Amino acid sequence: MLNKKTSHQHKGDYGESLAYDYLQQQGFVVLERNWRYKHCEVDIICKKNNVLHFVEVKTRTNQKFGNPEESINSKKMNALKKAAEEYLIQHTEFIQIQFDVIAIKLKNNKIEEILFIEDIFF
């Protein structure tokens, strides 16, 4: 039996594609998408000006549960850190890193807002 994606998963995939395009337009070089380490996943890993960026993408179609960026909790942040640590073990050429968020608001499946929040912690 095939695993059918939910509308939530399709929305997430769409948001990640929009974020990918946005980052490329801003001059980032995307190295990885949906990079996994154990139970941790980084939506996008990219670089710009010798800085490695670990990017979490959040997409919302309404404000019922708040803004997209508000859904990132400490559990998610810790998972991002763990994944980043492993990525850096495998890719020792990077010295400077940063964690970012791209929050996307959609209305009728069209972009209402893309908010790029850089250097969210550390």
pLDDT digits (tens, 9 = 90+) for 16-68: 999 999 999 999 999 999 999 998 999 999 999 999 999 999 999 888 888 88
CA distance 57 to 35: 13
Say what percent of the chain tops pLDDT 70: 91
- Tell whether the model's pLDDT for residue 71 goes beyond 90: no
**pTM to 2 decimal places:** 0.89
7-117: CATH topology is Trna Endonuclease; Chain: A, domain 1 (3.40.1350)
> In the chain, where are the structural domains located?
7-117
Under the banding of pLDDT at 50, 70 and 90, the label for residue 115 is: very high
Looking from the CA of 40 toward its CB, the CA atoms found within 13 Å total: 18
Mean pLDDT for the chain? 89
Specify the higher pLDDT residue, 34 or 11. 34
CA distance 80 to 84: 6
